[in-house]
């Protein structure tokens, strides 16, 4: 047992090359369990995943996201460069707005999913962009950006080390953040960002997140992360704010139907079968576009990403086969107990899986196979959880 722990020694024996964020000692003093994640030492949990997930759904949680890749893109051809690089339409993003997008390879398969920010109008470089990429793909993404950048008058600047990243998520996020933020948060829309100050430190702050709750992500100039982290915790004390680890973050994003690279999407999936067509705009010439046109012309790939729900005692886990009447027709991408949906008293487990298209309709009764035993599950609409607005 404890395979993951045996594979992943905790803090005192981290390999020498392990990267740490500026908040490492803050995590240790909060009693976090640190684990290697994409080359970084990161807090997987502080108190327990169920407790932490509940805190974010009911109050608010604070996340160190220092491991995520952060890249500035600027110069006369920044927009043209980005429209070659990724699937969404950079030209359609208004100043201060943000879009979700994908990086594809020539075969239309997914290399990463990203957030693409166009600088707010009051920025010193109002024509510049900002890109947030996954830690596990950062090296590959940057190599690809630099290769494509050779054909454009553009600068790609890796800011992962010069900017920290702290997120606050949960219904109390705005109340808490407004106490320490000079900007008017009520006027900041979803998937928008602004230049502001948080506890006197100039930074950018976006209304984004990866939990299905309202919240913000702050891009903190290097060196100020501990001060900003502490200011959030202090401002949030009366609102039930606590630090939240990557374990609960994964559960929360899964409930909210958000894909995680390496699970719902990876180098073998294309955006069409992953229900991400909305992030692909065919009006520009991005890498992988022709391959997607071929897939569409061929009538798709024959499989589709679906949500599954089960009240079985067993939980579908990554890699488990999905079957219909004894025949394997798919496999699980992510599976978890759903703390939020289980609240009503009925234990509820959720999963995402790729299944053959004919089995993808909502309400289709399928089985997941755990140790040669078939357990019932049912195709259900994504997301599993949607907050009341």
What single string gives the DSSP state of each residue in 348-372?
A: -EEEEEEEEGGG-STT-EEEEEETT
Q: Name which of residues 243 to 302 contact other proteins (CB under 8 A).
A: 247, 250-251
SS3 374: strand
Residue from 5, 91, 121, 381 in contact with other proteins (CB under 8 A): 5
> Residue 220: enclosing H or E segment and its boundaries?
strand 215-221
Cβ atoms of residues 6 and 206 within 8 Å: no
Please tell me whether residue 13 binds other proteins under the rule CB under 8 A.
yes
38, 50, 233, 331: residue in contact with other proteins (rule CB under 8 A): 50
Minimum CB separation of residue 311 from other proteins in Å reads: 13
Site string for other proteins, 21-40 (x = CB under 8 A): ------------x-------
Q: Quick one: which segment of 6-14, 91-99, 195-203, 361-369 binds other proteins (CB under 8 A)?
A: 6-14
**Non-local CB neighbours of 2 within 8 Å, separated by 6+ positions:** none
CB 99 within 8 A of CB 93: yes
Write the burial class of residue 373 (CB in 10 Å: 0-12 exposed, 13-18 middle, 19+ buried).
exposed
Q: What distance in Å separates the CA atoms of residue 156 and residue 315, rounded to the nearest whole number?
A: 43
1 binds other proteins (CB under 8 A): yes
Relative to beta strand 321-324, strand 327-337 is antiparallel
Interface with other proteins (CB under 8 A), residue from 160, 206, 336, 367: 336
Taking the complex as a whole, the smallest distance from the CB of residue 325 to other proteins amounts, in Å, to 24
Which residues lie below 8 Å from residue 240, measured CB to CB, with a gap of 6+?
Answer: 55, 58, 59, 60, 172
10 binds other proteins (CB under 8 A): yes
Task: Specify the residue, 168 or 246, whose C-beta has the smaller distance to other proteins.
Answer: 246
If the CB atoms of residues 139 and 263 are measured against other proteins, the closer one turns out to be 263
In angstroms, give the least distance from the CB of 45 to other proteins.
Answer: 8
Interface with other proteins includes 317 (CB under 8 A)? yes
Instruction: Give the shortest CB-339-to-other proteins separation in angstroms.
Output: 7
CB of 35 to other proteins, least distance (A): 10
User: Per rule CB under 8 A, is residue 3 in the interface with other proteins?
Assistant: yes
Q: Is 239 in the site for other proteins (CB under 8 A)?
A: no
> In this chain, which of 313, 326, 327, 346 binds other proteins, going by CB under 8 A?
313
Backbone angles phi, psi at 178, to 5 degrees: -60, -25
How many residues of this chain interact with other proteins, rule: CB under 8 A? 27
H or E segment at 177? Answer: helix 173-180
Is residue 242 a contact point for other proteins (CB under 8 A)? no
Residue appearing with tokens 């357990």:
375
CB under 8 A: which stretch of 8-16, 93-101, 104-112, 273-281 binds other proteins? 8-16
Q: How far is the C-alpha of 378 from the C-alpha of 386, rounded, in Å?
A: 19
- CA neighbor of 287 nearest in space, from 84, 6, 120, 72: 84
Which listed residue (6, 186, 298, 388) binds other proteins by CB under 8 A? 6
**What residues line the site for other proteins (CB under 8 A)?**
1-6, 9-13, 33, 48-50, 247, 250-251, 313-315, 317, 336-337, 339, 347, 371
């Amino acid at each position: 047992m404890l395979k993951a722990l045996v594979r992943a020694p905790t803090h005192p024996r981290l390999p020498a090359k392990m990267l740490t964020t500026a908040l490492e000692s803050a995590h240790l003093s909060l009693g976090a369990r640190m684990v290697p994640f994409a080359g970084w030492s990161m807090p997987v949990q502080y108190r327990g995943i169920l407790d932490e997930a509940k805190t974010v759904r009911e109050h608010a949680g604070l996340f160190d996201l220092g491991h995520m890749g952060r890249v500035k893109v600027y110069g006369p051809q920044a927009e043209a460069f980005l429209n070659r690089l990724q699937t969404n339409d950079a030209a359609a993003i208004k100043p201060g707005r943000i879009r979700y997008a994908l990086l594809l390879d020539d075969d239309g398969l997914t290399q990463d999913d990203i957030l693409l920010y166009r600088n707010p109008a009051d920025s010193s470089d109002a024509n510049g962009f900002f890109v947030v990429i996954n830690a596990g793909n950062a090296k590959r993404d940057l190599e690809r950006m630099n290769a494509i950048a050779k054909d454009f008058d553009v600068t790609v600047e890796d800011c992962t080390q010069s900017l920290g990243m702290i997120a606050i998520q949960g219904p109390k996020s705005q109340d808490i953040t407004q106490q320490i933020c000079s900007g008017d948060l009520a006027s900041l829309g979803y998937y928008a960002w602004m230049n502001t100050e948080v506890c006197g430190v100039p930074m950018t702050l976006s209304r984004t997140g990866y939990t299905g709750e309202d919240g913000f992500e702050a891009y903190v100039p290097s060196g100020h992360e501990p001060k900003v982290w502490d200011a959030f915790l202090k401002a949030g004390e009366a609102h039930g704010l606590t630090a939240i680890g990557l374990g609960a973050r994964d559960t929360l994003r899964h409930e909210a139907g958000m894909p995680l690279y390496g699970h719902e999407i990876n180098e073998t999936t294309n955006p069409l079968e992953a229900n991400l067509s909305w992030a692909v705009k065919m009006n520009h010439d991005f890498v992988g576009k022709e391959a997607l046109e071929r897939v569409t012309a061929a009538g798709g790939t024959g499989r589709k990403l679906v949500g599954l729900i089960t009240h079985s005692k067993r939980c579908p886990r990554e890699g488990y086969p999905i079957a219909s009447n004894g025949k394997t027709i798919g496999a699980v991408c992510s599976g978890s107990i759903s703390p939020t949906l289980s609240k009503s008293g009925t234990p509820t487990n959720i999963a995402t899986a790729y299944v053959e298209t004919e089995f993808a309709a909502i309400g289709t009764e399928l089985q997941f196979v755990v140790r040669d035993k078939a357990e019932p599950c049912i195709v259900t609409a994504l997301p599993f959880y949607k907050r009341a607005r």
